[in-house]
Amino acid sequence: MGDLIKSTCMIRPMHFVYRNYLANWACVVALGCSFFTSGEENTNKLPELGDASSALVSPEAEKAIGEQFLKQIRAQLPTIDDPILKYYTNLNLYRLATHSDLKEVVLHPVLIDSDQINAFAAPGGIIGINLGLYLAAQDVHEYSSVIAHEIAHLSQRHFARGLEAQRAQSIPALLGMLTGALIVAAGGGEAGLAAVTAAQALAQGQALRYSRGREKEADRVGLSTLARTNMDPYGMSRMFERMQRAYRFTERPPEFLLTHPITESRIADALNQAAKYPRQEYANSLEYLYMRARAVVHYAKTAQQAIRDARTRIEKADSSDNRYLLALALSRGEKHEQAVNQMRLLYENNDNSILLTFSYAEILISANRLEEANQILEKSLRLNPSNAPLSMLLAQSLQQEGDFSEAQKILWEQARLQPIDTDIWYQLAEISGLAGDIVDVHRARAEYFVLHGAYQNAVQHLQYARSLVDENNNYLVQKLDQRIVDLRAEEEANRRAG
């Protein structure tokens, strides 16, 4: 629903200066979803193979563009590294996508650390979601309506179709304007405003008018996806109404609403579309409410405030999600035993839940009850082998326990299973250092930098690793040499494309 990202620029502690690709790629993905103007279009219709949009931008080209944009997000914006939030976000996304019009369900969700409402779709299957969306959406149906809308932008190939509609427009001018808008939304201030102003002189009219036709199409296709996923189709209109009420009198609404105004006609259309489906009761997802609680505690100004708010909620409704919220708040406030007691009750009532196993073990680790945490994590991993959040948490517990070698093994397995997860490579570099494995420190850092588009940094770390490897270790020597060759070729290909 939103194609601008709003957040403060930040990089993980492995700092590097990185700006090379921003002007070329960072905002190009927005062009097809909202910023191109077009007339009203036939809705609920997939683009035909061989249409003008496919001729202009092939699916392969979209994928390449998306890969570069994904690197920009990682390099420029803070992302959420909470394994269970990432896990749930991914499960929800794929549940919706498998009931959508996507021909190929290969998606790359990115959870951005911003309390503002926003989500965006980018070519190559990228779905960006601000954690603030969890704060705004009161139930899983409202939340999923936003995600389904973004999936619709992908299934309808709005990026490629937008380029076709605007092929006479100055692409450099649009990129300049949209890059500036991204910087402004991310807190870039004067630099972003200057970029917008300069570009406006070249592309005043069409560039920043969102495509009403495509937004309407994404609403309708997304609502159909909701219904096919057995989610409440009225969730979309509820979400629209909630946002309209929240920002009706705000002088500066979030960028999301500036590019996607919530009008009465848009709400009415969502209601009319939902009315085509049989009215029934839809239960909320307790797991969604748990994830929402994690967002609430994450953005609480203080632990004391979070604890007070949780206790107030329990007074009004003594529910599992409010108890979960209290446990998280207590843990953040370092009231560890109280937190353990609260979460244990939830876990014991559903000890097969990956989410509750993770949450209980997480609080046990915070309380330094590592042996108990390891036991319940290992038990759950026997039922859910190599599960990402459980494995990541077990590695954290083992690290805290001082078993660096075993933690390193777990993280290497996760890196092989999820090679584009930057958080895994970051943690692997850290634990390899603690284990005294300097070669693997550099190997992991190299992959971390590759995923941020910093190829020179990556090659440098591989060269460091190569210099430390015994020449008799032919397998690793050849592997490192080949990786250096591959990265240099990839960097050159990207340079030519840019």
What ranges do the domains of the chain cover? 22-274, 300-401, 406-498
Percent of the chain clearing pLDDT 70 (strictly above): 75
Other CB atoms within a 10 A radius of the CB of residue 435 amount to 18
Query: Mean pLDDT lowest for which of 14-18, 92-96, 173-177, 484-488?
Result: 14-18
State the burial class of residue 129 (Cβ atoms within 10 Å of its Cβ: 0-12, 13-18, 19+): buried
pLDDT digits (tens, 9 = 90+) for 176-193: 444 444 444 444 444 444
Provide the pLDDT for residue 208: 39
Angle at 239 between CA 235 and CA 241, to 5 degrees: 120
- The answer to whether 466 and 30 are in contact (CB under 8 A) is no
Tell which residue, 260, 233, 218, has the closest CA to residue 118.
Answer: 260
* Residue type, position 399, single letter: Q
Measured CA to CA, the distance from residue 209 to residue 188 in angstroms comes to: 22
Coil, strand, or helix at residue 315? helix
Question: Regarding beta strands 126-130 and 108-112, do their DSSP bridges make them parallel or antiparallel, or are they unpaired?
Answer: parallel
Tell me the Ramachandran region of residue 211: left when phi exceeds 0, alpha when psi lies from -120 to 50, beta otherwise: beta
d(CA 338, CA 326): 9
Whole-angstrom Cα distance, residue 426 to residue 161? 37
Q: According to the model, what pLDDT value does residue 60 have?
A: 78
Task: Identify the band that residue 249 occupies on the pLDDT scale cut at 50, 70 and 90.
Answer: low
User: For the chain, what is the mean pLDDT?
Assistant: 82
d(CA 491, CA 498): 10
Contact (CB, 8 A) for 248 and 240: no
Half-sphere exposure for 451 (CA within 13 Å, toward CB)? 22
- Which of the pair, 5 or 444, is modelled with greater confidence? 444
pLDDT band of residue 66 (cuts 50, 70, 90) is confident
Tokens at residue 117, please?
A: 């409402």
Query: Which candidate, 230, 227, 236, 240, places its Cα nearest to that of 277?
Result: 227
Q: Is the pTM of this model over 0.85?
A: no
CB distance 313 to 325 below 8 Å: yes
Contact 393, 358 (CB under 8 A): yes
Q: Which CATH number fits domain 300-401: 1.25.40.10, 1.10.10.10, 3.30.1540.10, 3.40.50.300?
A: 1.25.40.10
Taking residue 358's Cβ as centre, other Cβ atoms within 10 Å add up to: 24
Asked if residues 26 and 76 have their Cβ atoms less than 8 Å apart, the reply is yes
Residue 360 is encoded by which pair of tokens? 């209980």
